[in-house]
Structure 1
Amino acid sequence: MTEQEVRRYLRQMKEENSEQAFHGFYDLCYDRLFRIAYYFVKHEEWAQEIVLDVFMRLWEQRAKLPEVKNIEDYCFILTKNASLNYLEKENRHATLSTEQLPEPTDRADSPEDTLISEELFARYVKALDRLPERCREVFIRIREEKQSYAQVAEELDISVKTVDAQLQKAVTRLKESLLV
């Protein structure tokens, strides 16, 4: 996602009420926002619903979006908050028997640990977005979707060695981005 492309779409959405620009913005940002929502809710259907709600909100706020200084962070926070709100709503509606309740843990994460974890995840998502498309696709399929090298090679019509090379390239670049 390049800042220039996003800004162009946001301007068109505001000035022209352009649904076409909105679709371009959607295509550019959907995968990233889906990964953020999925990180929090751990359910594909819930994450999809959350991201669609976030995009509805963005469309409704299209007149204000060009003034947002960091649209990437703004979208991250919107998606994170929507995910946490969704989880809270789901937890309120869930009726758990005592057998289904999780065992209490000795130590809950401190607010500082939670904040550090969320900041690190945000940096990871940004670093992942900066990878070349094929590299990112291989990394996501193997590390997040748990596909085998052979499965990825077959689906992308590339060799297993290419899959391995792309994965190593992705890991190296992600390490460099995250350790800065």
Structure 2
Amino acid sequence: MWDKDQKLGIITIEQFEKLYLQQAPKLIFYARKFVDDVVAEDIVHDIFLKLWHEKPEIDFREEDNPYLFRMVRNACYDFLKHKAVEESFVDKAFNELKMEELEWNDSYETFLDQEEKINAVYTVIDRLPPKCKEIFVKAYLEEQKHSDIATQLNISVRTVDTQVYKALKIIRDHLIPVLVLLFSLFW
């Protein structure tokens, strides 16, 4: 994998591997004070990768090298700072969406209008013939497949299709005048 004679700064690859195995657990433990476990491991691994690529002329033979701990501390700080900016951006975007929603839904009457429309639909559904209502509720409100409804009720799929069509026609015929009336009241 590596040429055994290759040097990393002033230490060999074997020394670097030894340094990693000795220092990484301590550095990860230190980083966990500030960030979660996964991020702590990522930060420490990234630091060692950076050291590998930059090959600094630093003597890493000290048992607890303050330079490594400073690098971890700075990386944790940068991560948390970036996360705060990211969260403030998300919070800002969320608040802007809510403000847009409030502008679109600018009045209590609009909310009542929507609620009245929904209530009108449920009122018409309640007035459907019993078998028609049962099939329609299963198909549209419970979102069951027509074949499953047919099996449950011991009827043909064609009968389910016919009853759903009948229910939709009744609902449409009853709701058009109601919705026209509601729109005329608020416009």
Q: TM-score, normalised by structure 1?
A: 0.42
Q: Flag the structure with larger Rg.
A: 2
Greater relative CO, 1 or 2 (CA 8 Å, sep 6+): 1
Q: TM-score, normalised by structure 2?
A: 0.41
